[in-house]
């Protein structure tokens, strides 16, 4: 069972993947596969690789995949490992998605993640969502606390946009940022999303 706000995040990311025309997708930090299971039923997607550090999460995801058709599950591979490693198995994909994952990484490790994804894996489209700290009061989160005990940081919208623009500039991507999962006039959405596209690509020109 997912919350309404989480459903909104999944819907937003799903729409971007579909609109990108991607036929191969990396779900980095896939967890129990809330988005991956949806993508496995998309006719346009021929290959999906889910990556996560948690073996228990991947086992739960395998059980969920067993409920899908054989055609859908044949498209999916699951990898127990770190998304910061950038190994050769994770290159050559049209799209990579990171749904509420970067906030679980220590801030001083974000540069390692950036190099792995935007320099080594280098998918044509990258979708990143992360909590919007400005929205926390509406969720009853006390000041100076995070939404989850495992979060290493939570950014406001200005800081997230600065980070996204820096990543895009260093990696040769164009980026757009949006509020998602609700839209409060002062606080924005519960989450925020950055969509990176390799600068000058056909997908980038179509989104301009």
| pLDDT(208) > 50 | no
What is the per-residue pLDDT for 199? 82
What is the per-residue pLDDT for 103? 96
- The position carrying tokens 């939570």 is 154
For each of the domains in the chain, give its residue range(s) and CATH number, in order of start: 4-207 (3.40.50.150)
Residue 112 burial (CB count, 10 A): 16
DSSP-assigned letter for residue 67: T
Give how far Cα 161 sits from Cα of 59, 62, 66, 147, Å.
35, 35, 39, 20
CB 201 within 8 A of CB 168: no
Q: Is 183 helix (H, G, I), strand (E, B) or coil?
A: coil
What gap in Å lies between CA 115 and CA 187, rounded to an integer? 31
| pLDDT tens per residue, range 147-198 | 999 999 999 999 999 999 999 999 999 999 999 998 899 999 999 999 999 9
DSSP-assigned letter for residue 84: T
| pLDDT tens per residue, range 123-153 | 999 999 999 999 999 999 998 899 999 999 9
| pLDDT tens per residue, range 24-77 | 999 999 999 999 999 999 999 999 999 999 999 999 999 999 999 999 999 999
Residue 184 burial (CB count, 10 A): 14
């Amino acid at each position: 069972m997912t919350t309404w706000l989480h459903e909104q995040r999944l819907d937003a990311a799903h729409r971007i993947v579909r609109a990108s025309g991607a036929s191969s997708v990396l779900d980095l930090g896939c967890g129990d596969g809330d988005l991956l299971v949806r993508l496995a039923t998309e006719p346009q997607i021929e290959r999906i690789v889910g990556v996560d550090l948690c073996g228990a999460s991947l086992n739960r995801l395998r059980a969920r995949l067993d409920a899908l058709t054989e055609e859908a599950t044949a498209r999916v591979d699951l990898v127990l490992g770190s998304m910061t490693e950038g190994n050769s198995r994770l290159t050559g994909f049209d799209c990579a998605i990171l749904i509420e994952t970067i906030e679980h990484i220590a801030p001083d490790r974000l540069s390692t993640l950036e190099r792995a994804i935007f320099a080594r894996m280098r998918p044509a489209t990258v979708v990143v969502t992360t909590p919007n700290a400005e929205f926390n009061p509406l969720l009853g989160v006390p000041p100076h606390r995070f939404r989850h005990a495992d979060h290493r940081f939570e950014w406001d919208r200005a800081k997230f946009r600065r980070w996204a623009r820096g990543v895009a500039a260093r990696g040769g991507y164009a980026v757009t940022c949006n509020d998602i999962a609700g839209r409060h006039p002062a606080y924005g959405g519960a989450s925020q999303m950055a969509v990176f596209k390799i600068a000058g690509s056909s997908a980038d020109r179509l989104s301009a």
